[in-house]
């Protein structure tokens, strides 16, 4: 029998509609089969749950075209889902191509190594996925939703840039209550006297790292 949600609980994403279903955080589509049995779920409305699907597909396909696509998890996702989805969806192919640019890959000392391709994240749909994951994790961590007025700032770290800053501050952040090495891992913390002020470092498929900072509207630090 499915667990029943409290009829007065609001969706953790929109904060407006009643939560009549549950959503996986991160999306279950980000995990190849067989999926872990302990995925995080949060209460949400059917509208938010349904509307997020296309954005999640874009996020998944975009990053699996890069370094994530050659990981163990990435290869399994390609075989199970992405290859077929990409072949059938011309709009998705065009959208992915606009999210890449040529860059120079350099060593930490600045020496040129090679030309490469990097993801540029002007695409608001990719950032919407990150915001939804942050809202879901916040609810899971603190058993309360982030107010709708909370501001978000997200930054994607290319794989060659990701590890150094993580190492510098990871001792200040708490380990996520659940993680799945090689699939999704995160660290987080928030300011106790200003609960809307929080930070998360999230790593997808072992290589793609996002920073996400939330704050009370009108505050910058």
The answer to whether position 13 is within a domain reads no
Structure confidence at residue 170 (pLDDT): 66
- Strand-pairing partners, residue 212, are 154, 200
The answer to whether position 38 is within a domain reads yes
Q: pLDDT tens digits for the chain (221 residues)?
A: 344 455 558 999 999 999 999 999 999 999 999 999 999 999 999 999 998 888 898 888 888 877 888 899 999 998 998 777 777 776 666 766 676 666 555 555 666 666 655 556 557 888 899 999 999 999 999 999 998 889 998 888 755 554 555 566 667 889 999 999 999 999 999 988 888 999 999 999 998 889 899 998 766 55
The answer to whether position 165 is within a domain reads yes
Closest-CA residue to 35 (of 46, 26, 22, 44): 26
d(CA 137, CA 130): 10
d(CA 31, CA 56): 12
Domain that holds residue 122: 21-215
Predicted TM-score (pTM) of the model is 0.82
User: How confident is the model over 182-194, as pLDDT tens digits?
Assistant: 999 999 999 888 8
d(CA 12, CA 158): 29
Helix (H) or strand (E) holding 64: helix 46-64
The answer to whether position 10 is within a domain reads no
Number of folded domains that form the chain: 1
User: How confident is the model over 194-217, as pLDDT tens digits?
Assistant: 889 999 999 999 988 898 999 987
The answer to whether position 6 is within a domain reads no
The answer to whether position 8 is within a domain reads no
Please report where in the chains the tokens 């969706």 appear, as a residue.
Answer: 11
The answer to whether position 15 is within a domain reads no
123-157 exposure pattern, b = at least 16 Cβ within 10 A, e = fewer: bebbbbbbbbbbbbbbbbbeeebbeeebeeebebb
The answer to whether position 199 is within a domain reads yes
d(CA 188, CA 151): 17
d(CA 208, CA 182): 10
Cβ of 219: how many Cβ atoms within 10 Å? 10
Contact present, 182 and 71 (Cβ < 8 Å): yes
Cα end-to-end distance, the chain, whole Å:
45
């Amino acid at each position: 029998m499915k667990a029943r949600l409290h009829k007065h609980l609001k969706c953790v994403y929109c904060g407006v509609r009643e939560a009549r279903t549950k959503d996986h955080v991160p999306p279950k589509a980000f995990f190849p089969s067989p999926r872990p049995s302990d995925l995080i779920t949060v209460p949400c409305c059917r509208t938010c749950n349904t509307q997020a699907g296309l954005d999640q597909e874009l996020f998944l396909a975009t990053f699996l075209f890069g370094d994530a696509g050659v990981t163990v998890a990435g290869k399994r996702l390609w075989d199970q889902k992405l290859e077929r989805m990409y072949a059938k969806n011309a709009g998705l192919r065009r959208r992915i191509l606009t999210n890449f640019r040529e860059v120079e890959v350099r060593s930490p000392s600045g020496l040129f190594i090679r030309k490469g391709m990097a993801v540029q994240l002007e695409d608001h749909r990719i950032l919407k996925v990150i915001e939804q994951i942050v809202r879901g994790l916040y609810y899971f961590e603190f058993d309360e939703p982030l107010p709708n007025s909370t501001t978000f700032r997200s930054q994607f770290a290319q794989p060659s840039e990701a590890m150094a800053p993580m190492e510098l501050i990871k001792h200040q952040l708490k380990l996520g209550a659940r993680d799945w090495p090689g699939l999704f891992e995160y660290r987080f913390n928030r300011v106790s006297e200003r609960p809307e002020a929080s930070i998360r470092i999230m790593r997808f498929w072992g290589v793609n790292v996002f920073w996400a900072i939330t704050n009370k509207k009108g505050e910058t630090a």
